[in-house]
Amino acid sequence: MSDLIKVGMADFKVGRNPASLISYGLGSCVGIALYDSVTKVGGLAHIMLPDSTQARSSENPAKFADTALPLMLNEMIKLGAAKIRITAKIAGGAQMFTFANATDIMRVGERNTEAVRSMLKKIDIRIIADDTGGNYGRTVELKLENGIYRVKTIDKGEKEL
């Protein structure tokens, strides 16, 4: 049984094999798994919001897609990962409640996903798998042994990315 490292909301953790990084109950948040398959170093970020520049408070950079990703990438490089080998898998960004007049607030899941995609593009990391959208929660686990990103849901089954 390898170590299970918990990643809370608005947080990120990095690690190396043998270990797994897990984050429970993502709704509109997005879980971004970065992985280097040679050194088996990985990171998991649980971001809540797309963009730190629009927020009034940015005390916790792990909260935003645009600030969490560069920080996590750095931590991984410190553990020996090489940026050129790192790939991304993303999951989450759901819209949990449906209202007739969906405002921007309700569409935050979609905006989070877009922001994650554009930030990854900006820092030149390829997304090799994704499972985003829908109206249901997800628990995500990144296995550092092989880079498998497991997505569990309540009644939409479980998949491995």
Point out the residues that are catalytic. 29
Query: Given the complex with other proteins, which of 38 and 154 has the nearer CB atom?
Result: 154
- DSSP codes, the chain: --EEEE--TTEEEEEESSEEEEEEEESSSEEEEEEETTTTEEEEEEE-BS-GGG-S--S-GGGBHHHHHHHHHHHHHHTT--GGG-EEEEEE----S--TT--TTTTHHHHHHHHHHHHHHHTT-EEEEEEE-SSS-EEEEEETTT--EEEE-SSS-EEE-
Q: Determine the size of the site formed for other proteins (CB under 8 A).
A: 34
Tell me: does residue 8 bind other proteins (CB under 8 A). yes
- Could you say which residues in the range 91-110 bind other proteins, by CB under 8 A? 94, 96-100, 105-106, 108
Q: Please, what is the minimum distance in Å from the beta carbon of residue 133 to other proteins? A: 13
Q: Please, what is the minimum distance in Å from the beta carbon of residue 73 to other proteins? A: 22
Query: Given the complex with other proteins, which of 7 and 125 has the nearer CB atom?
Result: 7
